[in-house]
């Protein structure tokens, strides 16, 4: 789970310390990793975040707490839900509770 922070450490960064990939808009952002696979990701006035948008999930976490994603996924994921996340480094999560998109 800490691989996102490790990736930020080794990636090329801009003058504000940001590593970005995909359709990303940053304004007043520093020391963050922001990745977008399918949609636009906009971040404004934040720092030290890991923001990753994929087909399956969106992760927003402070770099110091990205390890807690594994803890969240093991307690929040419905036990009967199939694992649908296919993105390396993100936990396998099923459909969100209350998701009405069907």
How does pLDDT run across 14-26, given as a tens digit for each residue? 999 999 999 999 9
The pTM (predicted TM-score) of the whole model is: 0.68
- Residue 83: DSSP 8-state: P
With a CB cutoff of 8 Å and minimum separation 6, the contacts of 21 are 34, 35, 36
Interior angle at CA 22, CA 19 and CA 25, nearest 5: 70
8 SS3 class:
helix
CA distance 81 to 7: 29
| pLDDT tens string 49-96 | 999 999 988 989 998 888 787 777 666 655 544 444 555 555 444 443
CA distance 21 to 18: 10
């Amino acid at each position: 789970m800490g691989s996102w922070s490790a990736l930020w450490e080794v990636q090329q960064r801009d003058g504000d310390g940001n590593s970005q990939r995909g359709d990303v808009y940053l304004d007043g952002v520093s020391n963050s990793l922001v990745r977008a696979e399918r949609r636009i990701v906009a971040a404004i006035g934040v720092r030290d975040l890991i923001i990753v948008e994929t087909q399956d999930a969106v992760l927003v976490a402070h770099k110091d707490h990205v390890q807690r994603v594994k803890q969240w996924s093991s307690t929040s994921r419905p036990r009967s839900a199939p694992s649908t996340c296919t993105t390396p480094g993100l936990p396998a999560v099923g459909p969100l509770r209350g998701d009405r998109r069907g």
